[in-house]
């Protein structure tokens, strides 16, 4: 059985998790080798009844951005026949939504390299039906990418199928052995460029998407920026530096994140580091935000908020916090400042988005925008307003 853990790179200080495209772990898979360069692996993403929804955030993210896989289709019988781009952003991308695995295989013409579990259920576990579906995909020669808290390589049934079908399972969330994990050291102080964390008022609210857009916008403007992933979806998308923080023992969360940021800084020499947020600091069900604030010691925070979301995701009796209350909590908890607000426009018209941007800018005294529907230049201006020295970096690059 071929099990591929995160790639470990070493620096002078200690081993660090560094997620990169696999080059040496598996030499026998057909998508690995070509004479000129390895082709991008093909994949089907499973997201039954959840594509475009909150629990389908992994599939949604892969459709919007994936350096690691060429996504051929998404499985969701509820939206079968639709275009994934139209469902997500009202822009066609020619990636279809299929009724089931048989439909997806028929449209692909042959079995893709990977079958990706694209849902993120609150339980983090596979249902009985999904177990059968994964085994069926393996029987077709498809390797599995699993971002759930359930590690399939530890299951003897899946282990046996790996051997029988000559495929591998990648348990994205599985952390390294405890002996290899690191505790916080204070080396984050050696990072001299601005570190910006993208946090939110709830889970599944668009923090990773906004972080991706900010990173791209800054790079395109000439400001070298590196993104640090903290969840399974970013790692599946092919982000170079990251860790699935919610699967790491709490004692090591701040240290693992700190170490990755230090390594990214040493290797890449960036002008800015953007850290993907998780959950919400005010949310009693999650603790990742606190570890992100401790481990990254951000110089600034961009807060993501969904104005039309009245209650927390998956917690119908728990009202959403206001941006003002979340800002107060973050700035009380950590030595940092909120440099801007980004809006998740779910259930909002364009007119409502504009009104919300104006309202929050007046109410909070910070710039606000919608990363998906407004120009990325607004995000660049948001960062430059908070860190004006970056204008010199931008001028040099242009």
What digits encode the pLDDT tens for the residues 363-383? 999 999 999 999 999 999 999
Give the pLDDT score at 294.
98
**Chain segment 288-307, per-residue pLDDT in tens:** 999 999 999 999 999 999 99
For residues 28-55, give the mean pLDDT. 74
- pLDDT value, residue 36: 54
| Confidence bin at 37 (pLDDT 50/70/90) | low
Q: Copy the structure tokens of residue 104.
A: 């997806």
Residue 11 confidence class, pLDDT cut points 50, 70, 90: very low
Phi, psi dihedral angles at 53 (to 5 degrees): -105, 175
Tell me the C-alpha to C-alpha distance, in Å, between residue 371 and each of 136, 221, 304, 344.
39, 16, 10, 8
Asked whether the predicted pLDDT for residue 396 surpasses 90, the reply is no
Mean pLDDT score across all residues of the chain: 90
- Mean pLDDT, residues 220-235: 96
Q: How do residues 320-344 score in pLDDT, each as one tens digit? A: 999 999 999 999 999 999 999 999 9
Residue 398 is predicted with a pLDDT of: 64
- Burial 195-226, CB ≥16 within 10 A → b, else e: bbbbbbbbbbbbbbbbbbbbbebbbebebebb
Which domains are present in the chain? 2-171 (3.40.50.720), 180-397 (3.40.50.300)
| Residues 237-256 pLDDT 10s | 999 999 999 999 999 999 99
CB atoms within 10 A of CB 386: 20
Residues of the chain with pLDDT > 70, as a percent, come to 89
The rounded distance, in Å, linking the Cα atoms of 3 and 186 is: 33
> Considering only CA atoms, which of 170, 197, 242 is closest in space to residue 335?
197
- For residues 111 and 143, the answer to whether their CB atoms sit within 8 Å is no
pLDDT digits (tens, 9 = 90+) for 157-190: 999 999 999 999 999 999 999 999 999 999 999 9
Mean pLDDT lowest for which of 28-32, 41-45, 217-221, 378-382?
A: 28-32
Average pLDDT (208-234) is 97
Q: What percent of the chain has pLDDT over 90?
A: 85
Q: How confident is the model at residue 360 (pLDDT cuts 50, 70, 90)?
A: very high
pTM of the model: 0.86
Q: Looking at residue 314, what is its pLDDT?
A: 86
Q: Residue 124 has what pLDDT? A: 73
Q: Which residues contact 37 (CB under 8 A, 6 or more apart)?
A: none
Q: What pLDDT is attached to residue 28?
A: 33
What pLDDT score was predicted for residue 120? 77
> Is 359's pLDDT higher than 50?
yes
Is the pLDDT at 34 greater than 70? The verdict is: no
What is the mean pLDDT of the segment spanning 128-139?
96
pLDDT of residue 241: 97
């Amino acid at each position: 059985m071929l099990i591929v853990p995160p790639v470990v790179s070493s620096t002078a200080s200690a081993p660090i998790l560094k997620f990169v495209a696999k080059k040496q772990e598996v030499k026998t898979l057909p998508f690995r080798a070509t004479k000129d360069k390895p082709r991008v692996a093909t994949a089907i993403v499973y997201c039954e009844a959840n594509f475009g929804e909150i629990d389908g955030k992994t599939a949604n993210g892969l459709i919007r951005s994936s350096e690691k896989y060429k996504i051929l289709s998404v499985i969701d019988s509820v939206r079968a026949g639709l275009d994934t781009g139209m469902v997500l952003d009202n822009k066609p991308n020619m990636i279809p939504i299929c009724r089931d695995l048989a439909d997806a295989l028929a449209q692909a013409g042959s079995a893709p390299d990977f079958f990706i579990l694209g849902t993120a259920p609150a339980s983090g576990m596979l249902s009985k039906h999904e177990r059968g579906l994964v085994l069926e995909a393996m029987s077709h020669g498809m390797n599995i990418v699993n971002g759930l808290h359930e590690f399939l390589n530890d299951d003897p049934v899946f282990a046996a199928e790996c051997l029988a079908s000559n495929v591998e399972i990648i348990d994205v969330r599985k952390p390294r052995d405890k002996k290899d994990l690191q505790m916080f050291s204070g080396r984050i102080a050696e990072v001299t460029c601005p570190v910006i964390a993208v946090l939110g008022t709830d889970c599944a609210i668009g923090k990773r998407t906004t972080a991706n857009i900010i990173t791209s916008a800054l790079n395109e403007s000439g400001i070298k920026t590196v993104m640090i992933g903290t969840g399974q979806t970013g790692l599946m998308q092919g982000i170079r530096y990251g860790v699935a923080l919610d699967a790491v023992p709490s004692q090591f969360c701040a240290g693992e994140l700190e170490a990755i940021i230090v390594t990214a800084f040493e290797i890449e020499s960036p002008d800015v580091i953007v850290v993907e947020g998780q959950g919400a600091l005010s949310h009693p069900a999650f603790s990742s935000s606190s570890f992100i604030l401790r481990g990254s010691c951000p110089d600034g925070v961009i807060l993501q908020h969904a104005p039309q979301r009245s209650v927390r995701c998956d917690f119908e009796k728990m009202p959403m916090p206001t941006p003002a209350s979340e800002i107060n909590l973050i700035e009380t908890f950590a030595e940092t400042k909120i440099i801007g607000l980004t809006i998740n426009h779910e259930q909002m018209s364009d007119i409502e988005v504009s009104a919300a941007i104006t309202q929050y800018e007046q109410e909070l005294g910070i710039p606000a925008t919608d990363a998906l529907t407004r120009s990325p230049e607004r995000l660049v201006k948001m960062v430059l307003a908070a860190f004006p020295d970056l204008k010199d970096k931008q001028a040099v690059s242009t």
